[in-house]
Amino acid sequence: MFENILETKKEYFGLDIGHATIKIIDLAKSGKDFSLRSHNEVPISPNAMGTSGISNKNELAQVIKKALETAKPRKIIAKAVCSALPETVVFSKVIKMPKMKGNDLAKAVPFEAAEFFPIPLSEMNLDWHVIDTQNNPEAKEMEILVIAASKVLVKDYLEIFNLAGLELIALETKAIAAARAVLLPEEKDRYVLVDFGSEASSVCIVENGVVKNTGTIKTGGNAITRGLVTVLKIKPEEAEKIKKTSGIEPGKKDEKNLAVIRALFPIIEEVNNSIKYFQTRVEKDAKIKQIKIYGGAARLPNLTDYLQKNLNIPTVLANPWTRIKTRPSEAVPAQDALKYTTAIGLAMREL
Check whether residue 306 and residue 174 sit in a common domain: no
Domain at 55, CATH number: 3.30.420.40
Could you give the number of structural domains in the chain?
Answer: 2
Q: How far apart are CA 302 and CA 257, in angstroms?
A: 12
Query: Does the pTM of the predicted model rise above 0.85?
Result: yes
Q: Mean per-residue pLDDT for 59-63?
A: 94
Question: Does the structure show a pLDDT above 70 at 2?
Answer: no
* 144 inside domain: no
Check whether residue 261 and residue 327 sit in a common domain: no
Check whether residue 156 and residue 262 sit in a common domain: no
Question: Does the structure show a pLDDT above 70 at 345?
Answer: yes
- Residue-wise pLDDT tens digits, 6-50: 544 578 999 999 888 999 999 998 888 899 999 999 999 876 665
Check whether residue 171 and residue 189 sit in a common domain: no
* 270 inside domain: yes
Range of the domain at 332: 1-89+151-183+322-351
Check whether residue 275 and residue 160 sit in a common domain: no
pLDDT at 148: 86
pLDDT at 351: 65
> Burial code of 236-269, b = ≥16 C-beta within 10 A, e = fewer?
eeebbebbbebbbeeeeeeebbebbbebbeebee
Is the alpha carbon torsion for 27, 29, 33, 35 positive or negative? negative
Identity of the highest mean pLDDT range in 88-97, 104-113, 327-336: 104-113
* 111 inside domain: no
pLDDT at 134: 52
Question: Does the structure show a pLDDT above 80 at 53?
Answer: no
Residues in Cβ contact with 182 at an 8 Å cutoff, skipping those fewer than 6 apart:
193, 292, 294, 318, 319, 320, 322, 341, 345
Residues in Cβ contact with 74 at an 8 Å cutoff, skipping those fewer than 6 apart:
37, 38
CB 275 within 8 A of CB 192: yes
CB 3 within 8 A of CB 12: no
Q: How many CB atoms lie within 10 A of CB 330?
A: 12
* 106 inside domain: no
pLDDT at 176: 92
Check whether residue 195 and residue 268 sit in a common domain: yes
Check whether residue 249 and residue 341 sit in a common domain: no
The per-residue DSSP string of 256-286 comes to HHHHHHHHHHHHHHHHHHHHHHIIIIISTTP
CB 15 within 8 A of CB 82: yes
pLDDT at 135: 57
pLDDT at 28: 92
Radius of gyration of the chain (CA): 20
* 21 inside domain: yes
Mean of pLDDT over the chain: 87
pLDDT at 247: 94
Check whether residue 34 and residue 165 sit in a common domain: yes
How far is CA 281 from each of CA 93, 189, 195, 293, rounded to the nearest angstrom?
Answer: 11, 18, 23, 24
Question: Does the structure show a pLDDT above 90 at 144?
Answer: no
Question: Does the structure show a pLDDT above 80 at 81?
Answer: yes
Which amino acid is present at 345? G
CB 175 within 8 A of CB 204: yes
Check whether residue 75 and residue 190 sit in a common domain: no
**Three-state DSSP state, 94:** strand
Check whether residue 63 and residue 46 sit in a common domain: yes
Q: How many CB atoms lie within 10 A of CB 322?
A: 14
Strand runs labelled E in the chain: 12-17, 21-30, 33-43, 49-50, 53-54, 80-85, 90-98, 124-131, 141-150, 167-173, 190-196, 201-207, 210-217, 290-294, 315-317, 324-326
Question: Does the structure show a pLDDT above 60 at 307?
Answer: yes
How far is CA 342 from each of CA 5, 121, 130, 142, rounded to the nearest angstrom?
Answer: 22, 27, 23, 29
Which amino acid is present at 265? F
* 103 inside domain: no
Q: How far apart are CA 131 and CA 136, in angstroms?
A: 11
Q: How many CB atoms lie within 10 A of CB 103?
A: 8
* 301 inside domain: yes
Question: Does the structure show a pLDDT above 90 at 93?
Answer: no
- Residue-wise pLDDT tens digits, 150-165: 888 889 999 999 999 9
Check whether residue 65 and residue 214 sit in a common domain: no
Question: Does the structure show a pLDDT above 80 at 282?
Answer: no
The band of 278, judged by pLDDT with boundaries at 50, 70 and 90, is confident
**Three-state DSSP state, 91:** strand
* 8 inside domain: yes
Query: Cis before residue 73, ω within 30 degrees of 0?
Result: yes
Stretch among 22-36, 47-61, 262-276 having the lowest mean pLDDT: 47-61
Check whether residue 215 and residue 204 sit in a common domain: yes
